[in-house]
Amino acid sequence: MKSNKNSTERENRNRRLYWSVISVAALSCGGTTLAQTNNVAATNAGASGSSTNVTQLGNITVVGKLDKARDTIIPDLGATAHTFSKEQIETLSQGANAPFNEVILRAPGVAQDSAANGDLHVRGEHANLQYRINDVLLPEGITGFGLELDPRFVESMQLITGCLPAAYGFRTAGVVDIHTKSGAFENGGTVDLYGGSYDTFRPSLEYGGSQGKWDYFVDGSFDQNSLGIENPTPSHNAIHDQTEQYKSFLYASRILSDTSRITVMGSASYSDFQVPNTPGLQNDPANYSAPGGNPWYSGGGIPTTFDSSTLNENQNEQNYYGVVTYQKSAGDLNFQASVFGRNSDVHFTPDAVGDLFFNGEASDVKRDLYSGGLQADASYALGDKHTIRGGVLLLDEYVSADSTTAVFPVDGAGNPTGPAFPVMNNQVLHGLFAGAYLQDEWKILPEVTINYGARFDQYYSSFLKANQPSPRVNVIYQPTDWTTLHAGYARYFTPPPVENVPASTVTAFDGTSGSTGNDQDSPVQAERANYFDAGISQKITKHLQVGVDGYYKTAKHQLDDGLFGQSLVLSAFNYAKGRIYGVEFTGSYNQGGFSAYANVAWSQAYGEDWESAQFLFGPDGPGTDLAYVRNHYIYLDHDQRVTGSFGVSYTWREGSHYST
């Protein structure tokens, strides 16, 4: 049961899964009622000669016109795009309370191997996603946006994959393109209370409106539950997995003229996570504790036994960003320019005694990422056959990576020889991303469109300097209104995320319990790849549509990420070579109030030879993992062979749904 009209229907919608759902119309009236009130007021004002509400309706018209113009600046021509509307999100069993990643998981070829850091795997890649709001790039953070964003402010969004047009660079596995709700169309507000299993308690609010030439939308939520990360045990309840999360988003736009506007967007999130425990663990190696306690631990002795279910590891995550955008539409010319900034912070605190007992080390890890930049994109219709597009991007990142790790001094056999002591490792990393592109949408025939172009990217960092020109081409052939074929090629250049580059002084851990037995630490490289994609979309009837899409990628310096150690902070590394390929099948049916979709995808992802940050993988030499991978392709750790998703929704009256 699903409803957007009143609190009774909303309660029925979620009664299947949750013990209580309360929706209260805020500020005296709900969204539908307020919107209707504004329309009536505008009509009455027009009859009486007043101009206030007539201007309001005019602003709505201008907003819609500018939204349409913005869509022409950066299209997804030739790529594979999967769209999620506000209405589709609302028909999910949790509606707008669904985690953002779970919405994207409905698209074909998307998998999530762990909830630990919210990362998604699209078409066999680990992360490598870029997020955009209203076509403006969001600088990436230390943790995934999937945990930071909230579907509540989404009007519509797309997951764009395949051979991306030249406008998209650096992060190329996919583009999550979000268009936000606007106060011009979302007059009114609601307050929701949502709860259920795992002690879930989630109040939230949203409100939109317009005043003169301004329109605005704001939302906020608080989430408390006992399954914050994941349950590593077979029991129903996780141990030590409480979380508290605060999220907010603000959108405000001012119409400057019939052809221009300025937009401000901002977001803040603050989250505390307990790291879940697994009972019954044994200390490893055993000689980190001695009978009667370990006299070498300077904090008063390591006990001979330690209950692993009582470990107390925690992680705090904070993310803030802001964007200011100017948009202008002047005849055949449309352009948009933005400045943006972001701060992302993660702090992992260990169990000072327990981590030493089980791992021989206890690391306090803190990373801060500061980002700022600008983006400008434009399109110009050059007659009926050509649309020229171009743009630039500049992104500057600064990372402060600090850690303090308590370790034991050990002898050649790994036996402790003294009390635990701290190894401090504080580093500063810097990265500068610069890119420019130019492309042409050429309607060569009524049924054939070619979108071709190139981009040039330059990357400077504390550990790497690299650049690459990247040609792109997509061909779209539409022989009938019911059949669309596409094929494309893209050259990709993917620098490593500065915030995920391991910040370790490897030799500082030699002769300690924190040593991996391997001091190899070659710099992480930028990935360079060739990508091929082809597919067809076919309407079988006016209600039924199916599609198939295949892709193949070869890469040099294949990038990957992994969680190493106790903290939930990713570390990047390279395979010397990579190979990823797969195929996706999609289908959808819509008739009357009934809609259904189904997706099935098959993929394989391989890498050969760990060629950077080798110390992450333990000792080298005959018979080791490093020696084997040096000459053999292996499946990437996030390889998901088969994925699938499906859903059914039925609307029997406006605003009321049944979905599964």
Per-residue pLDDT tens digits for 212-249: 899 999 999 999 999 888 888 999 999 999 999 999 99
Angstrom distances, CA of residue 525 to CA of 128, 241, 306, 467, 521:
14, 36, 41, 11, 12
Over range 637-655, report the average pLDDT: 80
Q: Are strands 20-25 and 188-196 parallel, antiparallel or unpaired?
A: antiparallel
What is the model's pLDDT at position 6? 37
pLDDT at 24 over 50: no
Q: Which two tokens stand for residue 2?
A: 């699903």
Q: Is 332 helix (H, G, I), strand (E, B) or coil?
A: coil
What is the model's pLDDT at position 105? 87
For the chain, what percent of residues have pLDDT higher than 70? 84
> How many other C-beta atoms are found inside a 10 Å radius of the C-beta of residue 584?
25
Task: Give the chain's mean pLDDT.
Answer: 83
pLDDT at 299 over 50: no
pLDDT at 58 over 70: no
Among candidate residues 26, 304, 332, the one with its CA nearest the CA of residue 187: 26
pLDDT category at 453 given cuts 50, 70, 90 is: very high
pLDDT category at 276 given cuts 50, 70, 90 is: very high
What is the model's pLDDT at position 118? 62
**Least reliable range by pLDDT among 65-74, 291-300, 330-339:** 291-300
Over range 495-507, report the average pLDDT: 79
pLDDT category at 60 given cuts 50, 70, 90 is: low
pLDDT at 81 over 50: yes
Q: Are strands 129-133 and 174-180 parallel, antiparallel or unpaired?
A: parallel
pLDDT at 196 over 80: yes
Q: Is 299 left (phi over 0), alpha (psi -120 to 50) or beta?
A: alpha
pLDDT category at 564 given cuts 50, 70, 90 is: confident
Q: What is the dihedral of CA 101, 107, 108, 112, to 10 degrees?
A: 10
pLDDT at 534 over 80: yes
Per-residue pLDDT tens digits for 610-642: 998 888 887 877 888 888 999 999 998 878 889
For helices 52-71 and 31-48, the axis angle rounded to 10 degrees is 120
pLDDT at 396 over 60: yes
pLDDT at 319 over 90: yes
61 vs 497, which has greater pLDDT? 497
What is the model's pLDDT at position 342? 94
Per-residue pLDDT tens digits for 361-389: 899 999 999 999 999 999 999 989 999 99
> Which DSSP string do the residues of 401-421 spell out, in sequence order?
EEEEEEE-BB-TTS-B-S--E
Distance CA(161)–CA(132), nearest Å, equals: 14
Domains contained in the chain, CATH given = 7-180 (2.170.130.10), 188-659 (2.40.170.20)
pLDDT at 485 over 50: yes
pLDDT category at 292 given cuts 50, 70, 90 is: very low
SS3 content of the chain, % helix, strand, coil (to 5): 15, 55, 35
pLDDT at 23 over 70: no
Cα angle 532-479-68, degrees, rounded to a multiple of 5: 75
592 Cβ contact list (under 8 Å, min separation 6) = none
Over range 76-87, report the average pLDDT: 86
pLDDT category at 444 given cuts 50, 70, 90 is: very high
pLDDT at 59 over 90: no
What is the model's pLDDT at position 117? 57
Distance CA(31)–CA(54), nearest Å, equals: 20
**Least reliable range by pLDDT among 317-326, 354-363, 570-579:** 354-363
What is the model's pLDDT at position 397? 94
Over range 74-102, report the average pLDDT: 84
pLDDT at 505 over 90: no
pLDDT category at 503 given cuts 50, 70, 90 is: low
**Least reliable range by pLDDT among 269-278, 553-562, 645-654:** 645-654
Q: Which two tokens stand for residue 560?
A: 């990957």
Over range 16-31, report the average pLDDT: 32
114 vs 276, which has greater pLDDT? 276
192 vs 114, which has greater pLDDT? 192
What is the model's pLDDT at position 52? 38
pLDDT at 49 over 60: no
What is the model's pLDDT at position 408? 86
